[in-house]
Amino acid sequence: MTRRDELVTEVVDLLARYQQAIETGTRDEIQTMVHLPVGYITEDDVQMRERYPFDPVKLREVTGFHHGKSEYDVIAVDETKAHIQITATRMRADDSPIEYVSAFYILQKRDGTWKIAAFSGIRTEA
């Protein structure tokens, strides 16, 4: 296994835990996976947030979101930073799609721990 392979494994592990927290966890759980302030790029603004911008409990309540199917493309990674493109489908419990998400994440490893430093996503209806 190359060093790059090891780093990709570390990064994907964080993203899998993050996905699980979106599916079944709380904002506070996600908050532990985010460097603060976290950069959030919206449709018309770049924000530095002291708190993760979404509540996964509300997401599940409002949309019927139950689970996701995600693919991670680690575009670049080194010892302290990773660029990842994520494509995902948010699904209901019956496996019907709710929406598609294309997102770009920047992760940083600080004090030996990978966390999300910035992200932006585009959502489209299924």
Tens of pLDDT, residues 82-95: 999 999 999 999 99
Q: What is the pLDDT of residue 115?
A: 99
CA-to-CA distance for 48 and 41, rounded, in angstroms? 9
pTM of the model: 0.94
Q: What is the pLDDT of residue 55?
A: 97
Domains in the chain: ranges and CATH:
3-125 (3.10.450.50)
CA-to-CA distance for 31 and 29, rounded, in angstroms? 5
Q: What is the pLDDT of residue 59?
A: 95
Secondary structure class of 113 (helix, strand, coil): strand
DSSP state string for 53-93: S--HHHHHHHH---EEEEEEEEEEE-SSEEEEEEEEEEE-T
Q: What is the pLDDT of residue 52?
A: 96
Stretches where the chain sits below pLDDT 70 are none
pLDDT digits (tens, 9 = 90+) for 38-52: 999 999 999 999 999
Helices (H) and strands (E) in the chain, counts: 3, 6
